[in-house]
Structure 1
Amino acid sequence: MQAISSLSLLSYVEGLPTERDRALFGICLYTTARVNEACSLHTADVYRADGRVRDRITFRRATTKGKQETRSVPVSPELRELLAEYRSDRPYLFPGRWGRGHICPESADAILRAAFKRLGIEGASTHSFRRTAITWMHNERVPIKHIQSISGHKSLSALQRYIDVTEKDKEMAISTLSFRS
């Protein structure tokens, strides 16, 4: 599992064949949602009764890992665009086959892997969106407790395992060490 470069991400999102797929993986990327959390969303968790995108997406406690608490995540302008292009008239935002239940995470994974293969992106998975978003926020100096609140991690140690550190990051860290007056 790896974080994905911003260029690869743009190619990927633009390369997805349907608005549904772009909305599904947009939710994973822009909210740090696990794929099963995104697949389980109800339409009312994302859209108002008048069809407009809500300001926050609600991930219900029953669908989160550990099923301990409901999480609410703000909708970014880029995610709002993706969601505005997609509409579901079913109770679940991403309906399963024949309109019953929701799309299963395994189907979402197959969609993702096919798109990655078409684009020549290797080593990525559905969880790469989560890792990418967490690493990106960390690199942009978002406080770790804020990231934890968004991602729903119960412990900082679990969250920190998601943060990728590159060789360039290490070089920049070392370059800050100057003890001469």
Structure 2
Amino acid sequence: MIITSGRNEGGSMKVDGHGQAKILTPYEIAKLFESFEGDRDRALFGTCLYTGCRINEACSVLIPDAYDSRGVRTKIMIRKSHTKGQQETRQVPVNSVLKGYLEAYWAMVGKQYLFPGRHGRGYINPKSADEILREKCDRLGLVGVSTHSFRRTALTQMHNAGVPLRVIQKISGHRSLQSLQQYLEVSELQLEGAIAALSF
């Protein structure tokens, strides 16, 4: 079943690793999460989508940074040592959807990392996560999607909902507002709305 052409509304398509990762629609997100066969994959990609973190940040989350003795924490910690450029540790609130994914997955977590690697060593390689996602996208006919699509989708959705850029920057961990703005998709609907506002 083909879901989409892979072209972002008002944006460019990612082809052979070039261009920006596709912004996912709610329908595409639903189909992807239905296609994930295990709780681990829903929890892993759900962490990317519902915290706006990078795939390597999600892969390297430690168990105590997501769970305590009572279950899922109210905030998930992205440690400085696991961020791009090792800028600063950040804590992102866990919403109800992500909490559900993490609760379903809790019984399967490893000893140190939330998403352990092969044979329980280290954490899952981001390239392995990319292969899992690519296989699902190929099966669904999704084009232009990468693990970065979850991050771009989250940040764009927050922006479209009117969340101030400084707040989004705090969640995303971007060094500057300028670098954050490069992630945000501008839709045709937004362009039309901007022009429609020009009434003198």
Task: State the TM bucket, normalised to the shorter chain.
Answer: over 0.9
Distance in 2 separating the partners of 1:58 and 1:77 = 16
Matched letter for residue 104 of structure 2: E
Query: Offset of 1:102 from its aligned partner?
Result: 0.4
Alignment equivalent of 1:70, drawn from 81, 85, 89: 89
Q: Give the alignment of 1:43-54 within 5 angstroms.
A: 43-50=63-70, 52-54=71-73
Query: Offset of 1:80 from its aligned partner?
Result: 0.5
For residues 23-60 of structure 1, give each alpha carbon's deviation from its aligned partner in whole angstroms, at most 9, with x where no partner exists.
0000000000100000001111101124x100000001
Runs (4+) of structure 1 exceeding 6 A deviation are none
SS of 1:58's partner is strand
Instruction: Give the equivalent residue in structure 2 for 1:107.
Output: 128
Query: Offset of 1:173 from its aligned partner?
Result: 1.1
Percent of aligned positions that are identical: 52
Residue ranges of structure 1 left out of the alignment (5+ in a row) = none
Matched, 1:17 2:37: yes
Instruction: Give the equivalent residue in structure 2 for 1:57.
Output: 76
Alignment equivalent of 1:40, drawn from 52, 60, 75: 60
Query: Offset of 1:156 from its aligned partner?
Result: 0.5
Matched, 1:166 2:179: no
For residues 73-97 of structure 1, give each alpha carbon's deviation from its aligned partner in whole angstroms, at most 9, with x where no partner exists.
0000111011110021421000000
Matched letter for residue 75 of structure 1: V
Instruction: Give the equivalent residue in structure 2 for 1:30.
Output: 50
SS of 1:82's partner is helix
Instruction: Give the equivalent residue in structure 1 for 2:12.
Output: none
Instruction: Give the equivalent residue in structure 2 for 1:155.
Output: 176
Distance in 2 separating the partners of 1:11 and 1:141 = 26
Matched, 1:82 2:94: no
Q: Is the 8 A contact 2:78 2:89 kept in 1?
A: yes
Matched letter for residue 40 of structure 2: R
Q: Is the 8 A contact 2:49 2:154 kept in 1?
A: yes
TM-score between the two structures when normalised by the length of structure 2:
0.87
Q: Is the 8 A contact 2:110 2:116 kept in 1?
A: no
TM-score between the two structures when normalised by the length of structure 1:
0.96
Query: Offset of 1:115 from its aligned partner?
Result: 1.1
Matched letter for residue 94 of structure 1: F
Matched letter for residue 167 of structure 2: H
- Count of residues paired in the alignment: 178
SS of 2:135's partner is helix
RMSD: 0.8
Matched letter for residue 166 of structure 1: S
Query: Offset of 1:121 from its aligned partner?
Result: 0.9
